Chains A and B, each alone.
Chain A
């Protein structure tokens, strides 16, 4: 019984850590899809870029961990601005097919570029000493890095929710998601809003990729392999919603960890089947278009 309880706690803990990372990566995707109606399959590329920046900043340039993390977020967010301005914005009004093809093209390019620059092997994450080892909590030991990860993600999520609910930028985003034409007609500069929001979403993906580099291995096929998970989070959670993807990400994180722990012979089978059933039951996701 005690053994079962401790494995239950362990699965819940690792599942939550994984779910948090999934959410931080995917929330930007949910907002950009809800706001601009853009099917951005290449969102995982930003997460992968964040992971590569973190790992190589530490291993090649010897930067301290917090600085490398900040660098990953800033570089990814900054790099996404010209990308959005020059390329994505051309396809805002285009059909879904064009957007899908365009972003698949970006994935191909990113995967190839990552292979050329970093090789096929998985990038090791060099953690500082204070994030290694165990962290005692309620009479149990938890891996310190996972605790750190949950705390940082939680803080980012709180900051994000606060800014969407309480700031002027958040109000503009909510207005544009609800009714784009009306938002434009009352004078909201939606072009700038799009760019800003896109950069924020990409930066968060970079953060998620960097933070989660230890859980979701950083390798060139990253954007392909995990695309399904990011999309599941968004579509199950509901487009343009903040809370929906959070619930979905935690659900997927815990379920996936539990399946891999207790039923490894089935792999991700249950996650996919559950997604199909869920989307049949609620085609617009758990929490439809409300931010």
Chain B
């Protein structure tokens, strides 16, 4: 087994854990023409991080995580485009609250069930959200999407510029805060009970852990984070389309997380990075082959490399150590 990340491991921040942030800042100065792609990647890292918390740590399999992302995006978008709320902090807070409330409401339902029923319920909830966004055209713009989103400067000082500099730093800051929170959670006793529930729910019940309440708590936290990610997408793109909701974005997010590695915190960083860069390079030229490649990669990862990229890297390091 590889080095565990979680309760019981050394909680001090290692030097290598600073790398993503150094890289993030380096990109800002060295690759200014890629900042809009960068902001998109940071947003998806945040989204993937929220999924990792429930999927990788608590073991809740969901096909409908996009419901929270989409709700966050639409709440921020509608407030800005239709009701004239333009303060970015306020929009984020509203989106986070809405997604958190939806997380508690739906979590209270789906976490009582298991297996296929749970899977089905997450999918149905996401489908309901998509259907509402699709049909409530006066509010959401329906299939045309929601445009006309204007965002005021952050704290009244930092304007969203056309090069995406502010947007990039804004995403980076929020991702850093979310990473800090997630890291705190998984190194805490609460995080330990989550892993315990994932590994053996019966035993956790037997030793007196209030399983349902723990799962609901983490589900709500994760939903809130996904809502923040959605609001970020709405703010940086200044457009919200139907493609943020439904099964496909949930599936795509899952692909990113699996690609990076599930339940290892930094898998959520590596996966979206590799996926979105590859998409940027390949998808426009060969859209069909891109989808085929994604599918093939998923199948291969499941059959041969269940730890994703980070899992393979760990295995490689372990093998090198053994030889020297």
Asked whether any CB of chain B lies closer than 8 Å to the CB of A151, the reply is: no
Total chain B interface residues with beta-carbon distance under 8 A: 44
Interface of B is mostly: helix
Question: Which residue in B61, B255, B295, B298 is a CB contact (below 8 Å) of A96?
Answer: B61
Which residues between 238 and 264 of chain B lie within 8 Å of chain A, taking CB atoms?
A: 247-248, 251, 254-255, 258, 262
Which residues between 202 and 244 of chain A lie within 8 Å of chain B, taking CB atoms?
A: 224, 227-228, 231-232, 234-235, 239
Tell me, in angstroms, the Cα distance from A266 to B134 when the chains sit together.
Answer: 9
Asked whether any CB of chain A lies closer than 8 Å to the CB of B306, the reply is: yes
Asked whether any CB of chain A lies closer than 8 Å to the CB of B292, the reply is: yes
Known contacts A90-B303, A232-B120; A272 and B127 CB within 8 A of each other: yes
Known contacts A91-B302, A276-B128, A279-B121; A100 and B63 CB within 8 A of each other: yes
Tell me, in angstroms, the Cα distance from A201 to B55 when the chains sit together.
Answer: 30
Asked whether any CB of chain A lies closer than 8 Å to the CB of B27, the reply is: no
User: Does A284 contact B302, Cβ atoms closer than 8 Å?
Assistant: no
User: Does B117 contact A279, Cβ atoms closer than 8 Å?
Assistant: yes
A90 → chain B closest CB, angstroms: 6
User: Does B131 contact A108, Cβ atoms closer than 8 Å?
Assistant: no
Which B residues lie within 8 Å of A190 (CB)? none
Closest residue to A227 on the B side, CB-wise?
Answer: B247
Closest residue to A90 on the B side, CB-wise?
Answer: B303
Known contacts A91-B302, A105-B298; A269 and B119 CB within 8 A of each other: no
User: Does A279 contact B131, Cβ atoms closer than 8 Å?
Assistant: no
Asked whether any CB of chain A lies closer than 8 Å to the CB of B209, the reply is: no
Known contacts A102-B298, A268-B127, A279-B121; A96 and B135 CB within 8 A of each other: no
User: Does A98 contact B123, Cβ atoms closer than 8 Å?
Assistant: no
User: Does B116 contact A234, Cβ atoms closer than 8 Å?
Assistant: yes
Question: Which residue in B112, B296, B306 is a CB contact (below 8 Å) of A109?
Answer: B296
User: Does B128 contact A239, Cβ atoms closer than 8 Å?
Assistant: no
Which residues between 180 and 220 of chain B lie within 8 Å of chain A, taking CB atoms?
A: none
Closest residue to B299 on the A side, CB-wise?
Answer: A105
Total chain A interface residues with beta-carbon distance under 8 A: 46
Asked whether any CB of chain A lies closer than 8 Å to the CB of B177, the reply is: no
User: Does B298 contact A104, Cβ atoms closer than 8 Å?
Assistant: yes
User: Does A239 contact B116, Cβ atoms closer than 8 Å?
Assistant: yes
Tell me, in angstroms, the Cα distance from A228 to B294 when the chains sit together.
Answer: 21
Asked whether any CB of chain A lies closer than 8 Å to the CB of B301, the reply is: yes
Asked whether any CB of chain B lies closer than 8 Å to the CB of A39, the reply is: yes
Which residues between 104 and 133 of chain B lie within 8 Å of chain A, taking CB atoms?
A: 109, 112-113, 115-117, 119-121, 123-125, 127-128, 131-132
Interface flags, B280-291, vs A, CB<8A=1, else 0 = 000000011111
Which B residues lie within 8 Å of A111 (CB)? 291, 295
Closest residue to A115 on the B side, CB-wise?
Answer: B288
Asked whether any CB of chain B lies closer than 8 Å to the CB of A158, the reply is: no
Question: Which residue in A87, A105, A224, A228 is a CB contact (below 8 Å) of B297?
Answer: A105
Tell me, in angstroms, the Cα distance from A283 to B116 when the chains sit together.
Answer: 9
Question: Which residue in B123, B251, B288, B297 is a CB contact (below 8 Å) of A231?
Answer: B123
Which A residues lie within 8 Å of B299 (CB)? 87, 102, 105-106, 109
B266 → chain A closest CB, angstroms: 19
Asked whether any CB of chain B lies closer than 8 Å to the CB of A57, the reply is: no
Asked whether any CB of chain B lies closer than 8 Å to the CB of A138, the reply is: no
Which A residues lie within 8 Å of B132 (CB)? 269
Which A residues lie within 8 Å of B302 (CB)? 91, 94, 98, 101-102, 105
Which residues between 126 and 165 of chain B lie within 8 Å of chain A, taking CB atoms?
A: 127-128, 131-132, 134-135
